[in-house]
Structure 1
């Protein structure tokens, strides 16, 4: 039995509430995606032994390329039903280890790459409500091997896939023609540390001009993927420390406020591990993680990084855009790096980052959990405003005893402070449009809602639309939040109100697909509804 002194990092906290949803979901949540039927697809790698949940109907997976268990009757993917708090095992064949993906126009999850027989594979999961859907897999369709790559939805509905281990290129899927092959991008090679590859899982965001912001290691570019040219090179993030896997900070595109003027696009990069931490950790020296965030206006004439200090150092954290425009920073460790067994000191306290506050007063610590969420853990926003948290397996196999941080198969919900009962009088409910309505671009949308207030302050009311991301390894791919300008808020009598809002006017601002739409009053969001932009 391994015996060690554990340090749990907890600080004085603000709000928020933790609930244990399930003590065992059967698989470790290496990857998660919320679908438009309020079910979450969760999966792990496939070829390092059995999971803790069996496949149904005596089904087994027979894969001669599996490295550990070629005849395997356990599931390595599950579907979580939010409404019923239930788990359904799914069948995935090829190895999904450290893969990537995003949700498509029709609401299906299209998922790419992995390891071994998964290198060039594409997998599709189309949501259903009758428990009949399962993974579909298409082998040898990616041009290059994609392992630790990053994906993003484009305005034309395709995904662009950047990088991966030993792959300094990008490609598109679905393919549009036989000539739609991989294209080399020297920036991905130039930012590689050959000893530890701190350019894996690049941070990529679609800019408001249609170009791609790409951050790897400690540097960033703006890339025109249509003309295949770098249109801007940004300063190195101050301090020069790496932020991508395995140094594993996290990043978000801050909420885009859509108004009549120019849309300001800002990227926030937080946490990570100092240069050399991976090597030090493998030698038994667990270096304190970074406690800094860099924030940059990516379209400024002379963009510069604004550095801020978090109350807690954090590596392997997840950053979740909340409906009210704040950022939740959750999970991770205070020392070491990403990888099997090379991090220490779980950070149990989430932080809320309020981007509209003055610098120096943007962070607030929240109530802590009691469950460490280390390597291979995840967090995603749900339609009811809670954050689903699961995963943590810093071991090569499912290992529950004799290790410092056992494999964790629990699932929790973190309820941000805005769900506290004291804020119920500020919580609205959208009456129309109906969920799953299709919306056009540049449309004046009428929203009817209820709010238990005799009068309301319309200046504190906003509409936010959120693209649910594909989340893995501390990066939420395709995460995007737009704040829409409201007008003509009128009372319909009693607690009934109506407003009008202008939808985004281009597919560059809101690539096609399903979004969650929330009405936010005085920072308190309604339950979301699903809308589809086509």
Structure 2
């Protein structure tokens, strides 16, 4: 019988394959796209050498891309004959290929980078100075932090810091805080949160009962929780089908929000997406409102059904909630099509 980890990997690979199939018809007729939007697609790089499991735009207009390290060689070599010698690697103990690259938008060029431990389904966020911090992952990377500080002279590379997390973190969520630290919430089998970087050696992981309450046995549905900083300084944390407002300074729940209508799970592995909408009334600094949008996901029981060979359709609904409202309520809308494993960003 396949393990949950194997099923998650298969699910991820199928997701990318399905996206490829959906794109193929459009590649055959680019004129259709050009006519519809007034522009056209242009192939910039035919093969980056590394799959974009994770991708982040940096403050120097370059994009760092990275993928898991335990799945065999990539299609791009490390520079200058370098090799990654890692006895803990599950596939290649000596690997001379890169599992991360930097894409320079201006010059349309790629540069291989050396990420050492496995970043499969890790989590991260950008620091105030523009550095990308990526924490956790799988196998040898589960308690590590990696930092990539952008540069323009091509001298920068990943820096790895071993066992700096108090617990292993896989499928967690990171969010930058006003004091410059990151909070790391959840992960597989981790019903806790912690901070990075640590202030003292006594910094620990702290229990978050909300993650226990949103954990579906053998399925979870509370991985990669949606986390946003509210205008009052507290954190909006959504997992499975509901959310709380959390005072991370005092470790207290400030507010419990109503369950999203329908009660279906929205976070991984049901894999909806969420975004904090543009904040209003900033100039007057009074009555500032914040609103979160959650879209897509999968009906309750979908993960178990898929394991049994029955595949149900994704959710086609979105829920909006004003997280600053004294009596917040979800407002539901219907999308033109159902969506799962999507992403939402603002085109600014």
Question: TM-score, normalised to structure 2's length?
Answer: 0.88
Which whole-Å deviations, capped at 9, do the CAs of 1:487-517 have from their partners, x for residues lacking one? xxxxxxxxxxxxxxxxxxxxxxxxxxxxxxx
The 5 Å alignment of 1:91-490 reads 91-257=114-280, 258-260=282-284, 261-323=286-348
Shift of 1:17: 4.3
State how far apart, in whole Å, the 2-side matches of 1:56 and 1:226 are. Answer: 44
Structure with larger RCO (C-alpha < 8 A, sep 6+): 1
CA RMSD of aligned residues (A): 1.9
Shift of 1:196: 1.4
CA distance 1:7–1:146, shift in 2 (3 Å): closer
CA distance 1:118–1:321, shift in 2 (3 Å): same
Q: Equivalent residue of 2:210, what SS?
A: helix
State how far apart, in whole Å, the 1-side matches of 2:99 and 2:217 are. Answer: 32
Which whole-Å deviations, capped at 9, do the CAs of 1:309-348 have from their partners, x for residues lacking one? 000111011101121xxxxxxxxxxxxxxxxxxxxxxxxx
Shift of 1:8: 4.6
1:355 counterpart residue number: none
1:60 counterpart residue number: 83
1:75 counterpart residue number: 98
State how far apart, in whole Å, the 2-side matches of 1:18 and 1:298 are. Answer: 38
Gap runs ≥5 in structure 2? 1-17, 27-31
State how far apart, in whole Å, the 1-side matches of 2:42 and 2:224 are. Answer: 30
Which whole-Å deviations, capped at 9, do the CAs of 1:74-117 have from their partners, x for residues lacking one? 10000000101111000011111111111112111111111111
Which whole-Å deviations, capped at 9, do the CAs of 1:50-96 have from their partners, x for residues lacking one? 11111111111111111111111110000000101111000011111
Gap runs ≥5 in structure 1? 324-534
State how far apart, in whole Å, the 1-side matches of 2:58 and 2:342 are. Answer: 23
Q: Which structure's residues are more often strand, by fraction?
A: 1
Q: Equivalent residue of 2:344, what SS?
A: strand
Which whole-Å deviations, capped at 9, do the CAs of 1:438-463 have from their partners, x for residues lacking one? xxxxxxxxxxxxxxxxxxxxxxxxxx
Shift of 1:122: 0.7
For residue 57 of structure 2, the aligned residue among 13, 18, 34 is 34
State how far apart, in whole Å, the 1-side matches of 2:305 and 2:75 are. Answer: 33
Which whole-Å deviations, capped at 9, do the CAs of 1:401-420 have from their partners, x for residues lacking one? xxxxxxxxxxxxxxxxxxxx
Question: TM-score, normalised to structure 1's length?
Answer: 0.58
Shift of 1:283: 2.7
State how far apart, in whole Å, the 2-side matches of 1:171 and 1:180 are. Answer: 8
Shift of 1:7: 8.2
Which whole-Å deviations, capped at 9, do the CAs of 1:274-317 have from their partners, x for residues lacking one? 11212222333221111000000011111000000000111011
Q: Equivalent residue of 1:57, what SS?
A: helix
State how far apart, in whole Å, the 2-side matches of 1:164 and 1:17 are. Answer: 40
State how far apart, in whole Å, the 1-side matches of 2:220 and 2:184 are. Answer: 18
Q: Does 1:23 align with 2:46?
A: yes
